[in-house]
C-alpha cells in the first residue's frame, strides 16, 4: 500500500510516563477537544476526571433492566401458576409471593447482567475490527510501557499543525500523524465474511430439520438421545398381550390367593367385623391390651389424628384452628371424639373409620398398618374414658394426687 | 494514584485520653443505671428482664463480632483500602471480653438451674418434652458453660492478639508483624465462623429450643456485619466532627467503600433471612413453621413487616445509588436507620421467646417496655466504655502498617 492511500486520521502523541499523561489529559480536556482518547498499559486512577469523562448512565439502564426482569418473573409465574395451568401443590395457594421470589431474583440478575454486557459493548462501540492506530508500529507498545493521547481528525477543532504544536507543548516526546486507511481497509477481511455467511447458513440446518419433522409423519420411533429407562421390557397397565388367550396383560389373582400386604380372610383383625358383618366389640387376638399397646396408640394418634382432632380429641387440632382462622369456606370441623354416639361405638367401627375414613375425613389405611390402627383404637377408648371419668373411676391409690 | 499519596500528619490521630475518660465514665454510669434500672423495673418478672437484656446484649455482641470479623478478613485477604479504619474495628472487637463478663451472670444462673431464659434447662421439660429431651446432650447447663468459655476465650484472645500486635507496630513499624497476623487470620477465620455460628445457636436460637435452623448462624453473622459497618460510619463521622485530625486522610473514598460493604451485607442479610423463611414456608413442617407463625400474629406481625421494610426494602433502595454512599449526610442517615433496623431484628428474634415457657401465652404479643430501653442504654454504655478503654490514648489508625499509604491514597474509579 502506498503512502498516498492514507488519509489524515488525526494526531498520535506519546508521553513519557503516566503522570505526564494525566497532566496532558487535563490540558487537552480544558482546550475543549471532544473527539480524543488516552491510552495506557494499565488502568489509571483519576483518569476519568482528568479526561472530563462523566459518570456513565449505564447503572440506570441496568436498574431498569433488573426491574423489568423482576416484573417478568412475577408475571410469568402468576400467569402459568394461577391463570393458565392451575396445579395445586401441597395445599399452597396457586400464586404466592414467597415461591416467586427465587425466580424473581434470578431474572433480575440475568436481565441486569445481560443488559450490562450488551450496553457496555454498545457504548464502547465494540466489537470493532478496525482502528487506524494499529497502523502505527510505535502504538504496539501501548500494552507494554507506552502512554499515548490521540486527537481524531473528526474533532471540530482539529487542525493537524495546531494539534501537533499543542501536544508537543504539553510534553509529548513523539507526535505522529495518524494514518487512516479506513476507506480501503475498514472492511471485514474476506475470509471472515465467508466464514460468517457459512456459519449463518449452517444454523439453518437444524431449524430446517425441525420444521420438516413437525410436518412429516414417520412410523419410526422418535430419536431418543438419552433413553434413560423409557423403553423397558415389561407390560404396562391396560395394554394388550398376545401371550394370553384373553389378550390382557393384567392378570387376575388365581382363585383363592391373597397378595402380600392385602387384606386377607381375617375379618376381625383386618376389617373389624365378625362373620355376620357386624362391628366387633372386642380386640382381635393378634392385639393384646396392655400399656405398650396404648402407648403405641398414643404416639400414632399424636402423629396421624391430633393435627385435626387435637391432642385430647376435642376436634380442635392445629389444622382445624388454622382453617377457622383463615375462614376456609370448605372446611368441615373434625368431630369431637367425646360425643356420645362416638363414645358408644364398637371398636370395630372405630377401626373402620381409621382404615377407610368417613364422609369428609380421608382414609388412613394406606399409612397405618392394622396393628397400629388397633393400637390407636385402644388409645381412643382410653382417651374417652379419661375425659368422662368421675372420681370413683380413679384408683384409690392415685386419688391423693388429685386436688 | 495510590503511589503518590503522602503520609498525613498523625500527630493528633490519638483518641484523646480525656475524651476516652469521659466516654468510659459516662458509659460505665449508663451501664450501671441502665442494667440496674431494667432489673429493678422488672423485679419479680425476671422473664421480662432477661429477654429485654438478651435483646440488647445480642445487639452489641453482633457489633463486636462484626469488628472481629472485619479485622480477620482484612488480614486474610491483605486488603489495602481498609487499613485506615482497621484500628476502629480492632477497638470494636476489643469489647468482646467485656461482653463475656456481661453474659457471665446468665451463664451462672443457668448453672444454678434458672430456666427463665432457657427453658431447656428446666428438668421437668427435659423429662416430659420429647424434643428437649432429645436435645439434652447438647442443650444442658454444663456444656453450655463450657461452650461459653470456648467462644469468649477465643474471641478475647483473637481481639487482644490483633489489637496488641497492631499497637506494637505503631511503635516499631516492623512489617513482620503484619505477616504474622496474616498467618493467624486463616485458622482464625475458621474458628470465628464456628464460634459465631454456635454462639448464635446457643444465645438466640436455643431460646425457643424446639425450633432449629441451620442457617441461623449465617443470619446473625450478616446482622453482625451490617451493624458493625453502620456503627463504624457513625463513629468515624463523629470523631471527624470533633477533630478532623483524629482520622487524617479518611476521605469520602473510604466512606464510599464502607457504604458498599454496608449495602452488600444488608442485602446479604435479606437474602439469608429469606432463604431461611422460604424453605420453612415451603416444607411446612409444624416444628419449624411454629416459629414464624408466632411472629406473624398479633402485634408481632407488625414487627415482622417493619423488619421487612426497614431492614430490606427501604434501605435497599436508599443505599443502592453511588450518590447515597458518597454523600456523607445521607450515608450517616442510612447507618442510623440500619442500626434501628438491627434493633427490630434482635427484638424480632428474641422477644417472642418471652412468656412461652410451658404455660399458655398469647402468640404474637409484643413485649416491649421501659426495661427494653434501659437494658439497651445499659449495654450500649458498657460497649462504648469498653471500646474507649481499649483505644484510650492510642492512635486511631495503624499508622505504620505497610499498607497505610496505599489505603490513604485509595480512590474509587
Tell me: do A83 and A198 sit in the same domain: yes
Map grid coordinates 488480614 to a residue. B75
Query: What is the per-residue pLDDT for A334?
Result: 93
* pTM (predicted TM-score): 0.80
Question: Following CA atoms A165, A171, A177, A182 in sequence, which dihedral angle do they give, to the nearest 10 degrees?
Answer: -120
Structural domains counted in chain A: 2
Q: Which of A197, A214, A231 is the last residue of a domain?
A: A214
A311 is a domain residue: yes
Query: What is the per-residue pLDDT for A4?
Result: 59
Are the Cβ atoms of A46 and B274 closer than 8 angstroms? no
* A103: contact with B, CB 8 A cutoff: no
Are the Cβ atoms of B411 and A46 closer than 8 angstroms? yes
Closest C-alpha among B269, B282, B258 to residue B220: B269
Whole-number average pLDDT of chain B? 92
Query: What is the per-residue pLDDT for A390?
Result: 78
Partners of residue A248 on adjacent β-strands: A240
Query: What is the per-residue pLDDT for B1?
Result: 40
Domain boundaries, chain B: 17-272+368-408
From chain B, pick out residues whose CB is under 8 angstroms from the CB of A48: 413
Question: Minimal Cα–Cα distance from A322 to chain B, Å?
Answer: 11
Query: What is the per-residue pLDDT for A403?
Result: 57
Q: How does residue B5 score in pLDDT terms, banded at 50, 70 and 90?
A: low
Q: Which of A152, A186, A214 is the last residue of a domain?
A: A214
Question: For chain B, what is the HEC assignment?
Answer: CHHHCCCCCCCCCECCHHHHHHHHHHHHHHHHHHHHHHHHHCCCCHHHHHHHHHHHHHHHHHHHHHHHHHHHHHHHCCCCCCHHHHHHHHHHHCCHHHHHHHHHHHHHHHHCCCCCCCHHHCHHHHHHCHHHHHCCCCCCHHHHHHHHHHHHHHHHHHHHHHHHHHHHHHHHCCHHHHHHHHHHHHHHHHHHHHHHHHHHHHHCHHHCCCCCCCCHHHHHHHHHHHHHHHHHHHHHHHHHHHCHHHCCCCCHHHHHHHHHHHHHHHHHHHHHHHHHHHHHHHHCCHHHHHHHHHHCCHHHHHHHHHHHHHHHHHHHHHHCCHHHHHCHHHHHHHHHHHHHHHHHHHHHHHHHHCCCCCCCCCCCCCCCCHHHHHHHHHHHHHHHHHHHHHHCCCECCCCCCCCHHHHHCCCCC
Return the half-sphere exposure (C-beta side, CA atoms, 13 A cut-off) of residue A273: 10
- Residues A121-159: tens digit of each pLDDT: 999 888 888 889 998 999 999 999 999 999 999 999 999
Query: What is the per-residue pLDDT for A374?
Result: 95
Tell me: do A279 and A160 sit in the same domain: no
CATH number at residue A330: 1.10.760.10
Residues 6+ apart with CB under 8 A from B109: B116, B117
Are the Cβ atoms of B413 and A48 closer than 8 angstroms? yes
Q: How does residue B413 score in pLDDT terms, banded at 50, 70 and 90?
A: low
Q: At what angle do helices B252-283 and B286-295 cross, to 10 degrees?
A: 130
The answer, yes or no, to whether residue A301 has pLDDT greater than 80, is yes
Query: What is the per-residue pLDDT for A181?
Result: 86
A255 is a domain residue: no
Question: Minimal Cα–Cα distance from B44 to chain A, Å?
Answer: 28
Which of A56, A61, A98, A322 is the best residue to mutate to test the B interface, defined by the most B CB atoms within 10 Å of its own CB? A98
DSSP conformation letters of A182-207: HHHH-SPPHHHHHHHHHHHHHHHHHH
Over residues A203-207, the mean pLDDT reads: 94
Tell me: do A168 and A294 sit in the same domain: no
Assigned C-alpha cell, A316? 380442635
Map grid coordinates 392451575 to a residue. A86
* A247: contact with B, CB 8 A cutoff: no
Which of B251, B257, B263, B282 is the best residue to mutate to test the A interface, defined by the most A CB atoms within 10 Å of its own CB? B282
* CA pair distance A272, A374, nearest whole angstrom: 9
From chain A, pick out residues whose CB is under 8 angstroms from the CB of B411: 45-46
CB atoms within 10 A of CB B368: 14
Tell me: do A276 and A204 sit in the same domain: no
Query: What is the per-residue pLDDT for B2?
Result: 44
* CA pair distance B307, B298, nearest whole angstrom: 15
* B281: contact with A, CB 8 A cutoff: yes
* A90: contact with B, CB 8 A cutoff: yes
Query: What is the per-residue pLDDT for B356?
Result: 61
Segment among A179-183, B128-132, B163-167, B271-275 with least mean pLDDT:
A179-183
Query: What is the per-residue pLDDT for B3?
Result: 46
- Residues B255-313: tens digit of each pLDDT: 999 999 999 999 999 999 999 999 999 888 888 888 998 898 889 999 999 999 999 99
Asked if A190 and A217 touch (Cβ cutoff 8 Å), the reply is: no
CB atoms within 10 A of CB B360: 7
Tell me: do A105 and A29 sit in the same domain: yes
Over residues B170-179, the mean pLDDT reads: 94
Pick the residue from chain A with its C-alpha nearest to B286. A318
The answer, yes or no, to whether residue A90 has pLDDT greater than 80, is no
Tell me: do A198 and A282 sit in the same domain: no
Note which residues in 372-411 of chain B have CB less than 8 A from chain A: 411
Provide the percentage of residues in chain A whose pLDDT is more than 70. Answer: 98
Partners of residue A176 on adjacent β-strands: A12
* CA pair distance B338, B344, nearest whole angstrom: 10
**Which structural domain, as residue segments, surrounds residue A57?**
1-214
Q: How does residue B89 score in pLDDT terms, banded at 50, 70 and 90?
A: very high
* B313: contact with A, CB 8 A cutoff: no
Are the Cβ atoms of A46 and B286 closer than 8 angstroms? no
Q: What angle do CA B259, B265, B270 make, to 5 degrees?
A: 130
- Residues B350-409: tens digit of each pLDDT: 999 887 644 445 667 888 989 999 999 999 999 999 999 999 999 999 999 999 988 988
ipTM over 0.85: no
Partners of residue A15 on adjacent β-strands: A147
Provide the percentage of residues in chain B whose pLDDT is more than 90. Answer: 80
Q: Which of A214, A230, A248 is the last residue of a domain?
A: A214
Tell me: do A188 and A275 sit in the same domain: no
Tell me: do A202 and A102 sit in the same domain: yes
CA torsion through residues B258, B259, B261, B262, sign: positive
Tell me: do A129 and A64 sit in the same domain: yes
- Residues A249-276: tens digit of each pLDDT: 988 888 888 777 677 778 888 888 888 8
Segment among A312-321, B37-46, B130-139 with least mean pLDDT:
B37-46
Q: How does residue A1 score in pLDDT terms, banded at 50, 70 and 90?
A: very low
Closest C-alpha among B329, B305, B150 to residue B252: B329
Whole-number average pLDDT of chain A? 89
Over residues A299-307, the mean pLDDT reads: 93
More confidently predicted of A403 and A57? A57
Tell me: do A21 and A169 sit in the same domain: yes
* CA pair distance B51, B346, nearest whole angstrom: 11
* CA pair distance A200, A324, nearest whole angstrom: 63
Query: What is the per-residue pLDDT for A227?
Result: 80
Over residues A231-255, the mean pLDDT reads: 87
Query: What is the per-residue pLDDT for B338?
Result: 98
CA torsion through residues B305, B306, B311, B313, sign: positive
- Residues A40-59: tens digit of each pLDDT: 999 988 899 999 998 888 99
Q: How many residues does chain B have?
A: 413
Provide the percentage of residues in chain B whose pLDDT is more than 70. Answer: 96
Over residues B180-187, the mean pLDDT reads: 95
The answer, yes or no, to whether residue A398 has pLDDT greater than 80, is no
A361-to-A330, A333, A374, B222 alpha-carbon distances in Å: 13, 10, 18, 46
Over residues A232-240, the mean pLDDT reads: 87
CB atoms within 10 A of CB A250: 11
Over residues B35-58, the mean pLDDT reads: 90
Query: What is the per-residue pLDDT for B276?
Result: 96
The answer, yes or no, to whether residue B174 has pLDDT greater than 90, is yes
Q: At what angle do helices B252-283 and B83-93 cross, to 10 degrees?
A: 50
The answer, yes or no, to whether residue B79 has pLDDT greater than 90, is yes
* CA pair distance B58, B154, nearest whole angstrom: 18
Element holding A36 (H helix, E strand) = strand A36-39
Amino acid at each position: 500500500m502506498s503512502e498516498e492511500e492514507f488519509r489524515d486520521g488525526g494526531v498520535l502523541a506519546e508521553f513519557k510516563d503516566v503522570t505526564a499523561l494525566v497532566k496532558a489529559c487535563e490540558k487537552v480536556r480544558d482546550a475543549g477537544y471532544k473527539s480524543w482518547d488516552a491510552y495506557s498499559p494499565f488502568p489509571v486512577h483519576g483518569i476519568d476526571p482528568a479526561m472530563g469523562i462523566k459518570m456513565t448512565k449505564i447503572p440506570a439502564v441496568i436498574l431498569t433492566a433488573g426491574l423489568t426482569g423482576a416484573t417478568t418473573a412475577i408475571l410469568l409465574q402468576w400467569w402459568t401458576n394461577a391463570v393458565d395451568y392451575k396445579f395445586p401443590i401441597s395445599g399452597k395457594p396457586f400464586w404466592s409471593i414467597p415461591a416467586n421470589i427465587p425466580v424473581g431474583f434470578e431474572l433480575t440478575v440475568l436481565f441486569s447482567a445481560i443488559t450490562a454486557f450488551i450496553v457496555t459493548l454498545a457504548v464502547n462501540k465494540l466489537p470493532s475490527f478496525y482502528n487506524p492506530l494499529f497502523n502505527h508500529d510505535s502504538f504496539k507498545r501501548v500494552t507494554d510501557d507506552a502512554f499515548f493521547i490521540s486527537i481524531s481528525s473528526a474533532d471540530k477543532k482539529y487542525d493537524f499543525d495546531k494539534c501537533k504544536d499543542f501536544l508537543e507543548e504539553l510534553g509529548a516526546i513523539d507526535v505522529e500523524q495518524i494514518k487512516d486507511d479506513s476507506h480501503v481497509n475498514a472492511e471485514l477481511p474476506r475470509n471472515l465474511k465467508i466464514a460468517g455467511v457459512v456459519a449463518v447458513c449452517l444454523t439453518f440446518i437444524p431449524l430446517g430439520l425441525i420444521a420438516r419433522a413437525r410436518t412429516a409423519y414417520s412410523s419410526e420411533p422418535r430419536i431418543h438421545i438419552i433413553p434413560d429407562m423409557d423403553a423397558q421390557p415389561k407390560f404396562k397397565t391396560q395394554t394388550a398381550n398376545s401371550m394370553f388367550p384373553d389378550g390382557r396383560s393384567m392378570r387376575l389373582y388365581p382363585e383363592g390367593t391373597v397378595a402380600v400386604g392385602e387384606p386377607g380372610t381375617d375379618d376381625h383383625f383386618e376389617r373389624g367385623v365378625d362373620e355376620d358383618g357386624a362391628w366387633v366389640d372386642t380386640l382381635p387376638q393378634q392385639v393384646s391390651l396392655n400399656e405398650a399397646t396404648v402407648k403405641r396408640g398414643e404416639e400414632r394418634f399424636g402423629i396421624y389424628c391430633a393435627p385435626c382432632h387435637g391432642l385430647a380429641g376435642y376436634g380442635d387440632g392445629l389444622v382445624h384452628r388454622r382453617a377457622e382462622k383463615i375462614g376456609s369456606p370448605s372446611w368441615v370441623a373434625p368431630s369431637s371424639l367425646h360425643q356420645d354416639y362416638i363414645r358408644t361405638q364398637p371398636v370395630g367401627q372405630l377401626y373402620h373409620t381409621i382404615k377407610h375414613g368417613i364422609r369428609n375425613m380421608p382414609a388412613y389405611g394406606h399409612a397405618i398398618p392394622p396393628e397400629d390402627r388397633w393400637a390407636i383404637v385402644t388409645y381412643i377408648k382410653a382417651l374417652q374414658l379419661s375425659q368422662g371419668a368421675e372420681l370413683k373411676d380413679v384408683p384409690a391409690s392415685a386419688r391423693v394426687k388429685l386436688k | 494514584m495510590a503511589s503518590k499519596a503522602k503520609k498525613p500528619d498523625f500527630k493528633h490521630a490519638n483518641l484523646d485520653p480525656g475524651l476516652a475518660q469521659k466516654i468510659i465514665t459516662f458509659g460505665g454510669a449508663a451501664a450501671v443505671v441502665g442494667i440496674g434500672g431494667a432489673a429493678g423495673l422488672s423485679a419479680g418478672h425476671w422473664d421480662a428482664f432477661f429477654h429485654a437484656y438478651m435483646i440488647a446484649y445480642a445487639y452489641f455482641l453482633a457489633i463486636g463480632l462484626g469488628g472481629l470479623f472485619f479485622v480477620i478478613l482484612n488480614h486474610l485477604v491483605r486488603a489495602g483500602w481498609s487499613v485506615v479504619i482497621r484500628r476502629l474495628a480492632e477497638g470494636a472487637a476489643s469489647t468482646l471480653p467485656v461482653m463475656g463478663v456481661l453474659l457471665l451472670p446468665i451463664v451462672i444462673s443457668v448453672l444454678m438451674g434458672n430456666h427463665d431464659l432457657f427453658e431447656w434447662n428446666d428438668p421437668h421439660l427435659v423429662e416430659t418434652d420429647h424434643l428437649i429431651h432429645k436435645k439434652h446432650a447438647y442443650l444442658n447447663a454444663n456444656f453450655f458453660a463450657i461452650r461459653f468459655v470456648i467462644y469468649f476465650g477465643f474471641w478475647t484472645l483473637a481481639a487482644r492478639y490483633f489489637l496488641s500486635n497492631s499497637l506494637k507496630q505503631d511503635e516499631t513499624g516492623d512489617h513482620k508483624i503484619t505477616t504474622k497476623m496474616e498467618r493467624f487470620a486463616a485458622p482464625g477465620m475458621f474458628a470465628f465462623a464456628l464460634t459465631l455460628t454456635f454462639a448464635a445457636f446457643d444465645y438466640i436460637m436455643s431460646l425457643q429450643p424446639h425450633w432449629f435452623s441451620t442457617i441461623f448462624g449465617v443470619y446473625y453473622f450478616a446482622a453482625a456485619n451490617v451493624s458493625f459497618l453502620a456503627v463504624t460510619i457513625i463513629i468515624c463521622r463523629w470523631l471527624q466532627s470533633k477533630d478532623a485530625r483524629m482520622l487524617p486522610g479518611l476521605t469520602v473514598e473510604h466512606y464510599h467503600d464502607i457504604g458498599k460493604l454496608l449495602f452488600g451485607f444488608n442485602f446479604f442479610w435479606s437474602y439469608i433471612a429469606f432463604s431461611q423463611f422460604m424453605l420453612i414456608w415451603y416444607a411446612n413442617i409444624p416444628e419449624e413453621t411454629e416459629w414464624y407463625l408466632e411472629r406473624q400474629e398479633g402485634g408481632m406481625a407488625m414487627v415482622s413487616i417493619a423488619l421487612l421494610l426497614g431492614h430490606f426494602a427501604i434501605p435497599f433502595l436508599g443505599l443502592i445509588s453511588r450518590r447515597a454512599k458518597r454523600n456523607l449526610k445521607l450515608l450517616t442517615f442510612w447507618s442510623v436507620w440500619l442500626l434501628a433496623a438491627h434493633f427490630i431484628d434482635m427484638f424480632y428474634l428474641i422477644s417472642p421467646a418471652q412468656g412461652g415457657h410451658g404455660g399458655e401465652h398469647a402468640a404474637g404479643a409484643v413485649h416491649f417496655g421501659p426495661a427494653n430501653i434501659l437494658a439497651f442504654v445499659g449495654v450500649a454504655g458498657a460497649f462504648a466504655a469498653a471500646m474507649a478503654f481499649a483505644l484510650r490514648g492510642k492512635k486511631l489508625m495503624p499508622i505504620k502498617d505497610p499498607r497505610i499509604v496505599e489505603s490513604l491514597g485509595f480512590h474509587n474509579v
